[in-house]
Every structure is written in C-alpha cells, then in structure tokens.
C-alpha cells in the first residue's frame, strides 16, 4: 500500500539541500569554502533573480575551445555547466588536440 509523504512537496527547484548549502556558503551564513571550491571546479555558480526560464549563450571554458553553447537559467537553480557539450566530461577535456582527430 502506498502512503503519502509526510513532508510537503518543495516549492521551487532551488529549495534542495545542495542549493541551500551553496547559497548559505556564498552569503556567509555558513561559510564552507571547500564546498564552493568543489562546485566551482566543474561548474559555474550564477546568482540570478529570474522568475521564468531564460536562455543565454555562454562560451566554453576549455582553453582550446571557442564554442558557444546555450544554457537555460531556471528560477531557483544556481549551478550551471562550465563547458560546452563537447567538453562536458573530464575524459573529453583531457584529450589532447592531436589525439582527437584519430579514429
């Protein structure tokens, strides 16, 4: 038999534990520099106050890539990708330019 959850549903996507911990670390309420460094190593933290989804074009942070990719900023979310889809995984970022052309 299924039972209803005791906790009410969350109102926004950003009300989860990770987003809340990041917001607290950024604001200084609970300064956890290690959390910020760990998240910023692979992602971008973008603080915004948009009330609806907004599309933005961002440049890839890979030093050998100049690609521009589309990112949708969502209300309540502050963590977004740092690299284009071609360099999203660590394996693809670590490939040298010479080995990418081999079959």
Mean pLDDT (the chain, rounded):
79
Is residue 5 domain-resident? no
**What is the per-residue pLDDT for 21?**
83
The CA distance from 13 to 15, in Å, is 6
pLDDT band of residue 33 (cuts 50, 70, 90) is: confident
Q: What share of the chain is helix, strand, coil (3-state, %, to 5)?
A: 35, 15, 50
Does residue 8 lie within any of the structural domains?
Answer: no
* 102 inside domain: no
Q: Name the residue range of residue 72's domain.
A: 13-87
The answer to whether position 67 is within a domain reads: yes
Q: Total domain count for the chain?
A: 1
27 band by pLDDT with thresholds 50, 70 and 90: confident
Residue 65 has pLDDT above 60, yes or no: yes
Does some domain include residue 4?
Answer: no
């Amino acid at each position: 038999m299924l039972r209803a959850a005791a906790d009410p549903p969350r109102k926004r996507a950003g009300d989860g534990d990770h987003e809340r911990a990041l917001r607290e670390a950024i604001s200084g309420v609970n300064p956890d520099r290690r959390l910020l460094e760990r998240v910023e190593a692979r992602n971008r933290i973008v603080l915004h106050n948009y009330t609806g989804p907004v599309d933005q074009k961002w440049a890839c942070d890979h030093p050998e890539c100049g690609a521009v990719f589309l990112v949708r900023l969502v209300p309540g979310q502050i963590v977004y990708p740092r690299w284009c889809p071609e360099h999203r995984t660590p394996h693809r970022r670590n490939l040298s330019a010479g080995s990418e052309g081999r079959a």
